Structure 1
Amino acid sequence: MQPEKHHADLRVTALVSIGKHPGSARERRAGQDARAVELGMTLASDGLEVLHAGDPQAEALRSYAGMGLDVLRVLDQEENADVVPALCRYLSQDKPDIILTGVRAESGESSGMLPYLLGEALGMPVVTGIADIVAVDGGEAQLLQALPRGQRRALRVPLPFIASVDMAAPAPRQSAFGPASRARLESTPAGIACPDEVRAQWSEAPARKRPKRLQVVKAKTAADRFKAATAKSQGDGGRILRDKPAPEMAQAIFDLLLEEGVVRGGR
């Protein structure tokens, strides 16, 4: 028998940001943040609060509301203001059981530091890159953390905690126009003005693609060059070192750095 995921008495806060489409650069709901909202609705739809710090007039916020929210709360502050002090002030008073965020934002600084800064300020443990919250029972939550190559790690974390939601989490439901237009966007003054002076001096530009590494082919004939160009790559995609002695794992990393030319071996 599977544990019950929905908890009526659980208080969950999902932090959302303004996303940016990678092709058109139009504002939209952020993919990871939308998954955090979906996870919160599955876990505690009655006790879920969706919170945004920024411009309450941002049209992209309606995309979150269109997932079936009645209310979306916005801490009103300027564009270049630091969101951490305002969120810390509000969350320290609200005191939810679980705070969900995306791993990183799709626009702005996109450093992925928000969960860690909130965890340090609020004194709450932080779990990164979760794929699901299996159950909450006895003051603890059973989580599945997303690992590379589709692996999962089972964790138990005491309440309250902060978790960043990975793209491996369940996909968010479609945003509907009707619920989006009927939802209330309640704007609350942030109560603290903390302009990010460093970010205000930045200049943003589209990222450039990194050049691909070309394989050096030492072929003498046309047949050898054709064979090298059409041959399937024999790379094994790396290795996973787990429960190995520390010297062995350190040596494997050092050998890889030598192979890639990052460091040079001494005589």
Structure 2
Amino acid sequence: MPLNIVSLVSVGRHPQSGRSRRAEQDGRAVEMGLKLAGQQLSVVHVGNPDEPVLRQYAGMGLSSLTVLKQADRFDAVPVLQRYLEQKNIDIVLTGVRSESGESSGMVPYLLAHALGWPVVARVADIVCVEKGEAQVLLALPRGQRRAVRVALPFIASLDLAAPPARQSAFGVGLRAKIETIESIGEVDQIRVDWQEAEAKPRAKRLKTVKAKTAAERFKAATAKPQGDAGKVLINETTQQKAQAIFDLLLEEKVIR
């Protein structure tokens, strides 16, 4: 019996240019779904069906893609919950977090809580599925892997250690059918009051400690600061002391 697998995709954003693109982790979720289910894979997006980035996912070899149409101010979890409850889903594949919007990484967990399913995070590979269970490899630090068995159905978030997404073909993506489903969304009351702005570069640290082990990092964090080539200002005026601090900040490039 073929597996019923759904890959959830979002609109990514290039880290340098800021342009919309196929999200790196979501692309790996589609790649994993194609490996397990082939052309039976269902790819679902919540948002605007006219988004050009969706054609990049379709260009991976998909004949169709489903869009649950709703505005950005609505919460994606309730509409996904209603959609998945109507289908006999075995596995839902997602990225760890999106590259735009809130990027909180909470969608797999909120969706699993709403459906009452287990969630498996940081998946590197799904080796096989048999007898209602999936053998999953989890990505651990330093290239290590951990094998676990998970009962169907479940939600898996794909790590960057998962196989990379194949190249997207423009012609295939252009010919794919975008199936739009009108949905009744729920306004995300918390996000309505948010104001988004570009991130500013962080101020440079006055001292950078290069520690290779946890013990060295702990020692550096708890050690008393030792001044080197510093000045002790006691009898100087307030203006002279302020000028000395200002010169130090300029020297360390904390301010410009």
TM-score range, shorter chain: 0.7 to 0.9
User: Which residue number in structure 2 is paired with residue 147 of structure 1?
Assistant: 140
Residues 214-229 of structure 1: pairs in structure 2 closer than 5 A: 214-215=206-207
* Distance of 2:109 and 2:208 partners within structure 1: 42
TM-score (norm 1): 0.79
Q: Does 1:33 find its partner at 2:26? A: yes
Mapping 1:216-255, distance limit 5 Å: 235-238=211-214
Matches within 5 A, 1:2-21: 9-21=2-14
Matched, 1:98 2:91: yes
Task: Quote the residue 1:249 is aligned against.
Answer: none
> Residue 172 of structure 1 aligns with which residue?
165
Is it true that 1:260 corresponds to 2:253 in the alignment? no
TM alignment of 1:122-161, pairs within 5 A: 122-161=115-154
Task: String of CA shifts for 1:19-57, please: whole Å, max 9, x gaps.
Answer: 011111111110000000000001111321000010101
> What is the Cα deviation at residue 100 of structure 1?
0.3
| Unmatched segments (≥5 aa) in structure 2 | 224-256
Q: Counterpart of 1:207?
A: 199
Aligned amino acid, residue 238 of structure 1: A
Instruction: Measure the CA separation in 2 of the matches of 1:82 and 1:116.
Output: 14
Q: Provide the TM-score with structure 2 as the length reference.
A: 0.82
1:114 lines up with 2:114 in the alignment = no
Q: Which amino acid aligns with 1:78?
A: A
Amino acid at match of 2:96: V
1:63–1:216 distance in 2 versus 1, CA, 3 Å: closer
By how many angstroms is 1:167 displaced? 0.8
Question: What is the match of residue 65 of structure 1?
Answer: 58
Q: State the shift of 1:74 in Å.
A: 0.2
The 1:189–1:213 alpha-carbon spacing in structure 2 relative to 1, beyond 3 Å, is: same
Partner AA of 1:91 in structure 2: L
In structure 1, what is the Cα distance between the partners aligned to 2:9 and 2:80?
11
**Structure 1 runs of 4+ off > 6 angstroms?**
none
TM-superposed deviation, 1:156: 0.6
* Cα distance in structure 2, aligned partners of 1:10 and 1:163: 15
Q: Deviations over 1:134-187 (max 9, x none)?
A: 111111101111111211111110111100001111010000111010000000
Measured against aligned partners, the alpha-carbon deviations of 1:94-152 in whole angstroms (never above 9, x if no partner) come to 13100000000000011111011111111110000101001111111011111112111
How far residue 205 of structure 1 moved from its aligned partner, in angstroms, is 1.4
Amino acid across the alignment from 1:205:
A
Return the letter of the residue paired with 1:204.
E
Over aligned residues, Cα RMSD in angstroms? 2.1
1:198 is matched with which residue: 190, 193, 198? 190
Distance (whole Å) between structure 1 residues aligned to residue 214 and residue 146 of structure 2: 20
Matches of 1:133 and 1:158, distance apart in 2: 13
Q: Cα offset for 1:16? A: 0.3
Rounded to whole Å, the distance in 2 between the matches of 1:55 and 1:79 is: 8
Query: Which 5+ residue runs of structure 1 have no aligned equivalent?
Result: 1-7, 218-232, 240-251, 263-267
Q: C-alpha separation between the residues in 2 aligned to 1:74 and 1:176?
A: 20
Q: Who is 1:44 aligned against?
A: 37
Does the Cα contact within 8 Å between 2:39 and 2:62 map onto a contact in 1? no
Q: Distance in 2 between matches of 1:216 and 1:61?
A: 42
- C-alpha separation in 2, matches of 1:113 and 1:203: 19
